[in-house]
Amino acid sequence: MQESIYQEKEKRSIRWELLLLALQIVGVLFLIYLPFLGLIRSGIYFYHAYNFNTWIGLFLGVVFSVGVIAVYTFTIKKLMNRNSKMRWKTTKKVGVFIFLLVISYVIFSLLSFSGKNAQSNKVKSEYSELHPYLKISVRTFLFFDNELIITDLSRTSDDYTKMGLKKKDSSLHFIQNTGYTHAMDLRTRDRPFWMIWSAQLYFKSLGFNAVRHGGTGDHLHVSLSTYEKQRSW
């Protein structure tokens, strides 16, 4: 009887330790993700709340990201040496380095799309018209899913007629008043369910619409609602 009780307690202890380990892993992953999450969500927030210019919103997102990474850096340094004191000169250097690091990543994400993840030359040529927030986000996701394929980007009203769809007066695939296309379609055919689900969760977490639907065939539609129609997708 006592042995049975002991075994039950041991099982509960193991389950509890596994739960704590899982929570710690999730916590660490969230902390790693937070600077990038803030980079994009900050820009989207200022756009939707105050109609900020794309680049001003992105700069504010960079500031947020730099701030988070700086806090991480100084916290780790303090934990490693509790008696150490950060001099203002050193703090400035660290801040400038982090800022340049984040800016470099943003520039890389905006300019490094090779086109191999575009379904056609048409999509490849239209990529330059895609909203910068979507560019940075999809380019980052390609680090984890290099098989991702963008099937559609920019459209005109006549394109819907050609595809046999109901003609639309407005679509986030059209060039918006920001000067950019606010939507892209991602291939779901022959893709594992968990990869589609992770992509959908990823884009939603950043503040985009991510809807799986038909129309031109089953695909994942990812879009940034406009300031004027914030619930549109």
- Residue ranges per structural domain of the chain: 12-109, 115-223
State pLDDT tens for residues 157-183.
Answer: 666 667 666 667 789 999 999 999 999
State pLDDT tens for residues 52-90.
Answer: 999 999 999 999 999 999 999 999 888 887 776 767 888
Per-chain mean pLDDT for the chain: 90
pLDDT above 80 for 146: yes
Side-chain-side CA neighbours of 107 within 13 Å: the count stands at: 6
224's tokens: 């940034």
Location of structure tokens 């982090």: 98
Q: What residue type is 149 in one-letter code?
A: I
pLDDT in the model for residue 11: 66
Phi-psi region of 215 (alpha: psi -120 to 50; beta: other; left: phi over 0): left
Question: The domain at 115-223 falls in which architecture?
Answer: 2-Layer Sandwich (3.30)
Judged on CB neighbours under 10 Å (0-12, 13-18, 19+), 12 is exposed
CA angle 179, 147, 115 (to 5 degrees): 40
Three-state DSSP at 231 gives: coil
Mean of the pLDDT values across residues 25-46?
Answer: 96
d(CA 63, CA 133) in angstroms, rounded, equals 15
Q: Which residues contact 149 (CB under 8 A, 6 or more apart)?
A: 117, 118, 119, 186, 187
State pLDDT tens for residues 116-141.
Answer: 999 999 999 999 999 999 999 999 99
168's tokens: 């639309």
What is the number of other CB atoms lying within 10 angstroms of the CB of residue 206?
24
Location of structure tokens 């969230």: 30
Q: Backbone phi, then psi, for 117, in 5-degree steps?
A: -100, 15
d(CA 158, CA 182) in angstroms, rounded, equals 18
2's tokens: 């006592």
pTM, two decimals, is: 0.90
pLDDT in the model for residue 155: 85
d(CA 233, CA 217) in angstroms, rounded, equals 17
